[in-house]
A and B are shown apart, each in its own frame.
Chain A
């Protein structure tokens, strides 16, 4: 029984069957990749997991509870954090504040009217955030405005914002999309580091085979909204069905 269990999920957009009977099981403490050519339904699937879309049928269970019908913030409070294709951060706030906000969200829940308290006095939260920033080598940038960070640092910051919440499941939506080779390798290293330091389940949606094979322990191949195979990276490489799906798409 995996930490995330997706059973028989269907999603239609008008006449287009975006997801057809998707089954997926992500085991605890593994890195699970979902790959597939463009339009395979990867992003739709991800959006169904985080509450942005609601599937037409099927079930999505996380840690023994259904996520369906819950709003994104409720799903996050269950222990799922999400990294976006282009980093979503609080650009106008300082780096430290960016990391403190998720700490508050974990401690105080989805809403609290802490209008008469003072941020400066929240030593516990501050230490937690600073420790996290040190962890991703950004301690020296904590007073910078997030908007002024380099692209790579923005990605790092977003990861820090997710990780500081100690999620049970970290969803990554093409974390290296549009990156140069060097940046991609840095991201891979960052993710490996993260994985080595703590118990965490990751689910990566990715286009770049290099990233997938460097990180994933299990791979699900999605094509035209349906999972083709679920295998270990070694077994995926030569799999005929995968070759077929990717023909002309990428070298496998």
Chain B
């Protein structure tokens, strides 16, 4: 189907099904129950899942396939956001032109930055991309204030022209897709459960599926094979008559455009853009997502993005009060000890948990969650087979005894 192998089609269908039913799947606990804090099925968080999924999928096309570790991809995310907000200010609140501009602008910047940075490889490449991103960040904060609105961040105002929409009446207009407002949410109540179906989420999810499908196509294409060859042996590439530079540049621009799309979508969900999005910690985050999920695998980056965003949200919400509830069954002294032990890792301490988790993954699971899943899968299969052996041996012995 769609020019994919059976295995990939299946993967695509599974991912599509999960994203389609995410509002239900991610809200397994009834609203108002003690466990409701583990629910992730509210629009804002789900949008972040898919948008950062897109960002990571794109990053994986560069890092996973070619091995070039960019430490400046957040710059493209930021450029995407700024472009989108400008489109909302100048042209229309429709998200389509905004997102197109985001992708185009990020692509253009990626072309220039990639052209320069890809003249070097290894850590030199990483530092060059980092330098470009930090430059963009610093400039966005200072002299580019007319374009970026500096520290405050770029926002909509009532006096924006919005040529196509005409003058807005009343409050600030909201982003929409041909009239369907992004923030529109339908809530469905089934027994004690409540599920939110939001336009913004489904719009982002649809784009994420397209992005994912395209990345599968790239992985399975001759171009994708060439990118893996670049990672494997550049010297052989050159002596096989292949010019590595345009291949890596194309990968860089494509992944920059993915980042631009993600940035545009962030702005489409919430029309503001700040320089923070371009900071190197943001670049680091997408690296974490990709590695955590499994660089070079198809589904890994999406998993990684979801995983980090989910735990970020959950861990930072938990506070001491909630911990005391959990451990209420323990004797008081023990309860206090448990709360004290866990306290540093929750709430504002979420980054500590993230750092530890990240180290553990790099140390023990260099292939990320996907490798972890594969290993566990193999382990179980082997155990089954061993169990079979034991049983058949036992059967044989019984037969011999009779």
Contacts and interface: CB of A to CB of B under 8 A. Distances in A.
Interface of A: 50, 71-74, 76-77, 81-82, 84, 88-93, 97, 100-102, 104-106, 108-122, 161, 165
B247 A111 contact: yes
A196 B239 CA distance: 25
B239 A114 contact: no
Contacts of B246: 110-111
Interface of B: 3-5, 217-218, 220-226, 228-229, 231-233, 235-243, 246-247, 250, 254
A218 to B, nearest CB: 24
B228 A93 contact: yes
A117 B241 contact: no
23 contacts: A71-B238, A71-B243, A73-B243, A77-B241, A88-B235, A88-B236, A88-B239, A90-B229, A90-B232, A90-B236, A101-B229, A105-B242, A109-B241, A110-B242, A110-B243, A111-B246, A112-B222, A113-B223, A113-B250, A114-B223, A115-B217, A119-B224, A122-B222
Nearest to B231: A92
Given A102-B240, A105-B241, A106-B241, A89 B221 contact: no
Contact of A115 (B223, B228, B233, B237): B223
A111 B251 CA distance: 13
The list of the 3 closest CB pairs from A to B, nearest first, reads A76-B241, A115-B223, A110-B243
Tell which of A91, A93, A165 has the most Cβ of chain B within 10 Å. Answer: A93
B217 A116 contact: yes
A188 to B, nearest CB: 23
B233 A114 contact: no
Nearest to A51: B238
Nearest to B223: A115
A165 B236 contact: no
Given A115-B218, A117-B222, A76 B229 contact: no
Nearest to B233: A90
A105 B240 contact: yes
B239 A116 contact: no
Nearest to A171: B239
A106 B242 CA distance: 9
A90 to B, nearest CB: 4
A106 B240 CA distance: 9
Contacts of B218: 115-116
A93 B225 contact: yes
A179 to B, nearest CB: 20
